[in-house]
Amino acid sequence: MNLLFALLALVQEGKPVSTLPKMEDTVKVTLSGEVEFDYVWRRQEMTAFTASVSGTNESENTFEGFIALRMNIDLSDNVSAMFELGTKRVDAGKINFFAGPSGTGSAALSLQLREAQITFKEMFWPELSLQAGITTWGFDVRGRGSSTAFDLRHSQRFVHALSAAGDGAGTLALHAGDPEELEPAGVWLRMARTSFTLDLVALPAVIEGGSVNNDESFYAVDLFYKFDSKDSRVGLIVALTNDPGGHSTIFTYGGGVNLRSLMEGMDICAEFYFQNGRNGGSPSVTVGGYAFNTSVEYVFAADLKPWIELGFTYFSGDGDAAANGKASAFNSYENIHDLLILEDMYTGFDWDTNYRAIKLSGGVRLHARLKNDLKIRAIVGIAQTVEPVRFGAVTTHKLGNEADLTVDWELTRQVTINFGFGYLFGSKVLLESMGGAGAGDAERQTMLFTLGTDLRF
């Protein structure tokens, strides 16, 4: 940790970074970084499942976030390297805290290697590049950092919720109790031309588990094609997730289209994925699920840039009351986080399979100190499980309805202040997960509040 602060001090003092005399061919070394620091209040119904500081289901105030320092090294015009040291906001199934009740929570200050890679441009052909190390690859049809199926850097294990039986009393804890940020290591080969991009991705160590039989690995081929001047595009992918020991092999096929030229100000996106294969274990499980995600956004031609969006997210679930050797729930490295409580891994439950939700959102960008520097967004989501969740004799589909308000104020290009409030109500899944109507602390609703800052330099 002392090394991180020493490098931060070096940046603040404005001192140049020099390489060894024998390395005079190095073109440039650039230091940058980010500090995210948030105050988070979760009501007791949330802390019962989200790895609370105190270990009890009491409302809690915490300070969460991360510190990261990145070094970009241009070794030549076509070869560059990058590594990033810092802390992680979530790790190994736990939310890390800068500080929590009674001064608890120093885990967020544990220094780790967050990212490291070397990139070769114009390999053999000008259009061909190669990246090796902890890669930044992801499959995001819309290109807004909210991947439906594959964002390995901001996701849990691929099969963390896999089961040959339907959801039950422990499902909410399983979802919310396993936050993780993976460091997928391998190679990423890209062929990029004016209108199309082809990626070959081989990540044999998505999760390094010591023995190869415990590793989780990922291989994919994807293609993007742009077909108009508005950068509308279609994306296709075939992916394989397994362990090198050969016990698990799950294929995922799919893709989507992002259409921006149908009407000025309108953005339409639709994605569909299905998968099959087998997950090893004793006994082994046949896997087969599917997912669908679509949204329509319209930005009005006005000075404040008001916008409205309607979206629908669907992940298949398993409806079997008892394990039967088949799992119909969709598995993924998804990173959908529209709703603070139901969908966000960092603040909420991250319910990411056996899930369907209709979401209506909108917002404006106001002028506070600078033009369009204050972004206000409101969203309402109506969520259910696709297949029933069983609590003994009680079954339900009601995940609940959620209303959120978020505000982002860009003080400068380097500093943003953010506010968020989420309210989940009408959730029978939450009620039954806490013991049902007869339990003293069980509720159908819960709340979340965040206030923080994001500093980039």
Question: How much is the average pLDDT of 176-186?
Answer: 88
CATH value at residue 60 = 2.40.160.100
How many domains would you assign to the chain? 1
pLDDT greater at residue 28 or residue 127: 127
Whether the predicted pLDDT of 10 surpasses 50: no
Stronger pLDDT, 106 or 72, i.e. the higher one:
72
DSSP 3-state of 175: helix
Residues 159/329, Cβ–Cβ less than 8 Å: no
CA–CA dist 443, 423 (Å, integer):
13
Residues 194-231: tens digit of each pLDDT: 899 999 999 998 876 544 455 789 999 999 999 998 89
The secondary structure of 17-75 as a DSSP string is P---GGGTT--EEEEEEEEEEEEEEE-HHHHTTTT-SSSSSS-EEEEEEEEEEEEEEE-
Domain hosting 40: range is 2-456
Q: Helices then strands (H, E): number in the chain?
A: 4, 21
Query: Tens of pLDDT along 363-410?
Result: 999 988 888 899 999 999 999 999 999 999 999 999 999 999 999 999
Q: For the chain, first and last CA: distance in Å?
A: 18
Query: Which DSSP string do the residues of 316-371 spell out, in sequence order?
Result: -----SS--SEE-S---B----SSTTTT-TTTS----SSEEEEEEEEEEEE-SSST
Between 108-122, 260-274, 417-431, the lowest mean confidence (pLDDT) is in 108-122
Span 167-171, average pLDDT: 92
Reply yes or no on whether the pLDDT at 5 is more than 70. Answer: no
Q: What value does the mean pLDDT of the chain take?
A: 88
- % residues pLDDT > 70 (the chain): 89
Q: What is the predicted pLDDT for the residue at 20? A: 60
39-55 per-position pLDDT tens digit: 999 999 999 898 777 77
DSSP letter string over 234-268?
EEEEEEEEE-TTSS-EEEEEEEEEEE-SSSTTEEE
Lowest mean pLDDT: which of 108-112, 206-210, 234-238?
206-210
Q: What is the model's pLDDT at position 96? A: 86
Q: pLDDT tens-digit profile of 398-448?
A: 999 999 999 999 999 899 999 999 999 999 999 999 998 888 889 999 999
Confidence of residue 21 (pLDDT cuts 50, 70, 90): low
- Which DSSP string corresponds to 261-293? SSSTTEEEEEEEEEEEEEE-SSS-EEEEEEEEE
- CA 453 to chain CA mean position, Å: 19
